[in-house]
Structure 1
Amino acid sequence: MVETGLGEVMLRDIFLKTMFRMNLTLVSDMARICCVQPAIAQELIDLCRGQRLVEAMGTLHATSGNEMGYQLTDAGKARALDALAQSEYFGAMPVPLARYREQVARQSIRNITITRDRLMDAMGHLILPPKLLDQLGPAVGSGRSILMYGPPGNGKSSISNGVRDAIGERIYVPRAIEYSGQIIAVYDPIVHTAAEAAIDDPNALRRTSGRFDNRYVHCERPTVVTGGELSLDMLDLTYNPVARTYTAPLQLKSSGGVFIVDDLGRQAEPPQKLVNRWIVPLEENRDILSLQSGEKFEVPFDTLVIFSTNFHPNQIFDKAALRRIFYKIKIDGPDQEGFLKIFAMMAKKKGLPLDQASIIHLLRNKYPSIGNVYANYQPGFLIDQILSICKFERLEPQMTPALMDRAWANMFVEDSDIAH
């Protein structure tokens, strides 16, 4: 039990609560649910038997490898209920915070190596200017914070997702961590994508299980994406007063991965305030969280934070905040050549035949009206509009100047006053 890093009382109480809540009788089931090795589960059974909290049922289960069954005694049930009154947590044993820090250091986002080829492979579906990769590569490889800014509709969100794909690799995420007797749930199936578990072959020479601490889940590097809904309280521990347990904040769940703050400036909290919350984490790679008691403690901050905004940084940050964001990358719209490449790629993908006369009409008669300002979202928008019109008019998918005019009319709002 020493190798778990947890105190004997905590191990015993979680074990008893798990037996009680899940009505477990077999050591193998207890080991699986508590995510410990069978030898540790047996040690806990022996400990509880010595304290008269558990007793053998006196029968062997023929369908379960002739395992001996165990059950809680009346004293064991009473102890389980007392423990549940203190905390409803049961199941997987937590990982001590000190051990978790060591694991984070071993799999740090700052240890990854990003090459130009790897980044290009992850973003092969995007038409990007070559200079952008020159800036993005070192930024991602550093594992430090990135601010992407520029006009809307030019792929900042898509680039952020491409960064996530380029990082790749897998890490170990604890189901829960323990600090000062408090349990904080970390693993979240919504955020974490578990790698496919290897299944033991009883005839294999080498067993696959037990190669790593089962209190961790082997996952893809996590990605947390937030937008206008992000608020400061989402960056704090969440306490459940009924279960008397905590849930990790978003940045802790994203440890070892990417935290994307999309549409910065659209949140209820001012952007400056959000960045101020992260001044210490961004500079010192550690975050400070608070328990219900008011006690503060440190956790690792090992996250590539990507801020994405349509505002100019000088409008939403002061110089001190900008200094703490290590990389600032402007994402502009494409030039005409890039626009045409995106248009051709999107048309092929969506099954709309290209028509030279329609595209010339678009470039000569429509874009001059908006100062020839191109955006990455526009080809897909126009093509979807044309396809919808063709479907409504019962036409085969086709592109004509007239259809292009109808599609263009839906891309912008007419600039005129509305009488009330």
Structure 2
Amino acid sequence: MHTIEHPETLLAEEQAVVQLAAKNRGIFEIATRSDTHGPAIRAGIDKLYDPADPTYAMRCCETVPHLIELQLIRQSEVPKRFQLTNFGWQLSRNLTAKLKEERQFAGADVASDTPPHDPMQMTAPIRREAEELTPTSPEPAFGATIPRAIVSESPATESHGSVPSLVSPTPPVSITRTPPPSMPDFGGKKRVESGLVSSLGLDEGFLPPEPQTLAETGLSSAAIEDLILKIVQNAGSMTGRQIAEVLCLPLAVLEDCLTTLRNRQHLSPTGSAMLGDYVYQLTDNGRQRARLAMQECAYAGPAPVPLDDYVASVEAQTIRTEKPKRARLVEAFSDINVEPEMLARLGPAISAGKGMFVYGPPGNGKTTIAQRITRCFGQNVLIPYAIIEDGQIIKLYDAACHERVNSQMSSLLRHNEHDQRWIRIRRPTVVVGGELTMDSLELKHDPVSHISEASLQLKSNCGSLLIDDFGRQRVNPTELLNRWIIPLENRIDYLSLANGKKIQVPFEQLIIFSTNLEPHDLADDAFLRRIPFKIEIGAPSREEFIKLFEMFSKKLKVECPSESLNYLLQRHYDSCGRPLRRCQARDLLDQALHYCEYNEIPVIATPEILDHAVNNYFTAMSGKE
């Protein structure tokens, strides 16, 4: 049983959800529409959305599981629709009473200037940090301006497609008072877990709604029918829901196509399935048409999305929209040793989202640092499985380049979350080295299957493209740089389809050139000015090398006494002038570990074992680098 005496113990967004529901007879829903650019809580003509704060709608959506846990709301029979419980109605009345009390306390004479308002028009809750409230840490006295993040649309506005207008806000009230002596906890966590946003699928500004009609897919009925026939031919027999699952489209969208194929005697229902569905097989006419469709294009997978939709998605999810700060960089590089001075140089380059040269002697962590740069950008992105343009299908999703995010989707939002033709991935990091050729930068058309494979820069959109060991590719560096001068300048690229048509695609990635060579030896000034950041990663200092040895000693569980480390530095570095490299600490300790394991002796890096490791490691080298 709840005793809701102090509503301010709830987060501002949680209070806003309850107030919005109370205004609409206790009912609200989570819906994705174009005017909010993603999911938002709606009740009648109102919605929790703030154009000045794009994350506000998302924060309100993620409070739903906690409000259900507190028994303030419950899920209705309609998917993604919720209603207030008795406790929720009680909280709504307390919020209204609290507002009146605060106004009286602040001396605000609102009633004399404006007619009575309902709870939603009177206030939006006071924003506070989502922190745990404990008896030993009472809530501080607060003085805040009441924000307005509730958008109201009149029926006339909706019918004409106009931009919704904000509800006229109540005059700001500055409140400073002593909080109640105790803040009861309703149970459950007050802090929203950082992974909850991703698990609910609400961490992206771009969220394409699930198509409700064939026209909304952007595909022709003939293209959908060919895909259905090819899928059934490959499987032998399938139910309508299985076909819809493979195509990543709702069954309701495919009903007309399935009916047309049955009427034309291309599909034949051979049995019934659950919920009024049927099991389908190809007829002789269907097999003939499927063979012709397979000869034209062998693709038989999730329905592709139009190129224009993909271009819009890249513009909405571009890596330049995120501006990682120092704390994000520290977290991304926490598992490796990076000096504060290096972070200070890398930070502005990463935050800018523009290209960079990372250069310096080999073995100092250029590739390691470059591969971790994408970790600084926290959001996941949505990409389509395949793209279609002028009848040509381009496969975009590549498991070798894209890390799929297995969303632990709450059942609250599992129904019709978004267009399932889009897959949620981490911002990609595409790494290529000496194998890079000019052909890798173009669409790869298979003359047998008639399916095109996306180019490297297309796969790396909204992420990072790392050209490792730049200058050592089989292709001349000048040709490679000339290929990218225009894309780097204009952020667009031009690719050729198999039918000869040129298409314009986004070039929206953080491109990183990692090289052991001097940048001026590889490119002229015209290209270097388009790569604004040049980061030199030099050799480590003696202190940093010792710190690396200690770090890898703990990581590899190899005991390395300080006497052994001093011996190593004096005997094998100082005496012969060998330069220090960051990779050597890990590599030498790894040699010592395998030596001890093989000889079944304690894992201790003694001077003798380090001599053995050095002899193995540097034998192929000249002794001086």
Query: Does TM, normalized by the shorter one, top 0.5?
Result: yes
Q: C-alpha displacement at 1:17, in angstroms? A: 2.2
Q: How far apart are the structure 2 equivalents of 1:298 and 1:264?
A: 26
Q: 1:258 aligns with which of 454, 464, 479?
A: 464
Inter-partner Cα distance in structure 2 for 1:70 and 1:343: 64
Aligned to 1:295: 501
Higher alpha-carbon Rg: 2
CA displacement at 1:50 relative to structure 2 = 4.7
Residue of structure 2 equivalent to 1:184: 394
Shift of 1:102: 0.7
Is the Cα contact below 8 Å between 2:310 and 2:383 reproduced in 1? Answer: no
Q: State the match for 1:233 in structure 2.
A: 439
Match of 1:39 among 236, 252, 255: 252
The superposition leaves residues 191-250 of structure 1 with CA deviations (integer Å, 9 ceiling, x where unpaired) of 22221144685xxxx451321111111111122111111111111111111111111112
CA 1:367–1:200: 2 relative to 1, 3 Å: closer
Alpha carbons 1:173, 1:218 under 8 Å: kept: yes
How much has 1:94 moved relative to structure 2?
A: 0.6
The aligned residue for residue 211 of structure 1 is 417
Give the AA of the match of 2:387.
I
Who is 1:286 aligned against? Answer: 492
What is the TM-score with the length of structure 1 in the denominator?
0.91
Letter in 2 for 1:186: L
The alpha carbon displacement at 1:148 in A equals 0.3
Which residue is equivalent to 1:305?
511
Give the 3 Å change call, closer, same or farther, for CA 410–149 of structure 1 in structure 2: same
1:117 alignment counterpart: 327
What SS does structure 2 have at the residue aligned with 1:134?
helix
Kindly state the Cα deviation for residue 339 of structure 1 after the two structures are TM-superposed: 0.9
Ranked by relative contact order (alpha carbons within 8 Å, sequence separation 6 or more), the top structure is 1
Alignment of 1:31-110 (within 5 A): 31-57=244-270, 59-61=271-273, 64-110=274-320
User: What's 1:131 paired with?
Assistant: 341
| Cα distance in 2 between the residues matched to 1:330 and 1:369 | 27
Letter in 2 for 1:17: K
Question: Is the 8 Å Cα contact of residues 200 and 209 (structure 1) preserved in structure 2?
Answer: no
CA deviations on 1:137-168 (whole Å, 9 max, x unpaired) are 12122221111000011111111122122223
C-alpha displacement of 1:310: 0.8
Q: Is the 8 A contact 2:560 2:606 kept in 1?
A: no
CA distance in 2, matches of 1:394, 1:200: 51
Work out the CA distance in 1 between the residues paired with 2:423 and 2:566. Answer: 55
Cα deviation, 1:256-310, whole Å, max 9, x if unaligned, reads: 1111111112211122222222112222111111123332211111211111111
Kindly provide the amino acid, as one letter, of the partner of residue 112 in structure 1: E
- Contact 1:160/1:306 (<8 A) preserved: yes
Secondary structure of 1:263 counterpart: coil
Deviations 1:42-91 (A, max 9, x none): 1211333454544544x432xx2342344444433332222222111222
TM-score, normalised via structure 2 length: 0.62
Identity percentage of aligned residues: 37
- Quote the Cα distance in structure 2 between the aligned partners of 1:19 and 1:187: 23
How far apart are the structure 2 equivalents of 1:354 and 1:342? 12
Displacement of 1:116 in angstroms is: 0.7
Name 1:268's counterpart in structure 2: 474
Q: Does 1:142 align with 2:340?
A: no
Q: Letter of the aligned partner of 1:215 in structure 2?
A: R
Structure 1: state its 5+ residue gaps: none
User: Whole-Å Cα distance in 1 between the matches of residues 316 and 491 of structure 2?
Assistant: 14
Give the total of aligned pairs.
409
Whether 1:340 and 2:546 are equivalent positions in the alignment is: yes
2:452 equivalent in structure 1: 246
Shift of 1:187: 0.9
Give the Cα separation in 1 of the matches to 2:597 and 2:287. Answer: 67
Matched with 1:13 is: 226
Distance 1:173 1:414 in 2: 46
